[in-house]
Amino acid sequence: MQEVYKNIVSEKENKLLAVLIDPENEHLWQIAPKIKKINSSAATHIFVGGSTDPDSRTDAVIKEIKKHTALPVVIFPGDTNQISASADALLFLSLISGRNPDYLIGKHVTAVPKIIEAGLDVIPTAYILIEGGSVSAVERVSKTKPLSINNIETIVKTAKAGELLGMNLVYLEAGSGASFPIPEEVIRAVKNNLNIPLIVGGGVKTKEQLEAAYEAGADMVVVGTAFEQNTSVFETQLNQKMIIK
Ligand code: 1GP
């Protein structure tokens, strides 16, 4: 139990990189070549999830991914139908930037029997949505507003509240496909006030943005859209100079 989390804590100095796979966009036959690319890239984790999964494809997608990789597969759930016993861990996300009770605690209660049955490594995660220049799926689905990048004090206090509530990770989210990623000054301010690992994601499209996030204090960066659009992005950009393993 907690192997994935222990590994994140012990390896975070090396800067971790998660590739996000959204089951809604995946055909099973596309997975093997995609995972091959990920295996030979700097990625250290595979996250699986999306704001919605209308056809409940997550379990099948994770089973297929697991056939082709030894990397830890972590569920990054948008809803309770994305819990799968085939994964290695689950980010138990509470959307603490918002005030929608369903995404703060409601769905969590509903998910408990499934989580217990699956025997997953559960990682309580403070999930904080921050403006990324466009309306994100998280904003649409959760019906919550992102925190303004101009209000760094509130972002820092929100992250710290997550830590003080006992959460094990903070995830700063600009939203999938964000116009711009989380600004460095936001990452730096949160990191300077935090004692738990910090994940940053949303809108990271270039090696420069990736390195800037690490430089500012991200322990792990999540990349989804850039990889979906070009599975060679790691060869051409992210893999250069990135020594992660
Ligand atoms: C979304 O943070 C992740 O939840 C990744 O975002 O798709 O913009 O890389 P992108």
Among 135, 187, 222, 234, residue to substitute to test ligand 1 (most atoms within 8 Å of Cβ): 222
Tokens 């930037």 correspond to what residue? 97
**Antiparallel, parallel or unpaired: β 45-48 and 220-223:** unpaired
Q: Which residue's CA lies nearest to atom 4 of ligand 1?
A: 176
201 has a pLDDT exceeding 90: yes
Does domain 3-242 fall under CATH 3.40.50.800? My reply is no
HEC string of the chain?
CCHHHHHHHHHHHHCEEEEEECHHHCCHHHHHHHHHHHHCCCCCEEEECCCCCCCCCHHHHHHHHHCCCCCCEEECCCCHHHCCCCCCEEEEEEECCCCCHHHHHHHHHHHHHHHHHHCCEEEEEEEEEECCCCCCHHHHHHCCCCECCCCHHHHHHHHHHHHHCCCCEEEEECCCCCCCCCCHHHHHHHHHCCCCCEEEECCCCCHHHHHHHHHHCCCEEEECHHHHHCCCHHHHHHCCCCCCC
245 has a pLDDT exceeding 80: no
Q: Which residues surround ligand 1 with Cβ inside 6 Å?
A: 20, 173, 176-178, 201-204, 222-226
Atom index in ligand 1 nearest the CA of residue 228 equals 7
pLDDT by residue (tens digit) across 129-156? 999 999 999 999 999 999 999 999 999 9
Expressed in angstroms and rounded, the spacing between residue 121 Cα and the centre of ligand 1 is 22
Range of weakest confidence among 48-57, 64-73, 228-237: 228-237
CA distance 199 to 222: 7
pLDDT by residue (tens digit) across 149-197? 999 999 999 999 999 999 999 999 999 999 999 999 999 999 999 999 9
Which band of pLDDT confidence, cut at 50, 70 and 90, is reported for residue 243? very low
Mean pLDDT, residues 74-86 taken together? 96
Atom index in ligand 1 nearest the CA of residue 20 equals 5
Atom index in ligand 1 nearest the CA of residue 201 equals 2
Q: Is the pTM of this model over 0.85?
A: yes
pLDDT value of position 234: 56
Expressed in angstroms and rounded, the spacing between residue 202 Cα and the centre of ligand 1 is 4
Q: Where are the domains of the chain?
A: 3-242
239 has a pLDDT exceeding 70: no
Cα 205 from chain centre: 15
Expressed in angstroms and rounded, the spacing between residue 157 Cα and the centre of ligand 1 is 23
- The residue among 2 and 114 whose pLDDT is bigger is 114
CB count within 10 Å of CB 229 equals: 10
Amino acid at 61: V
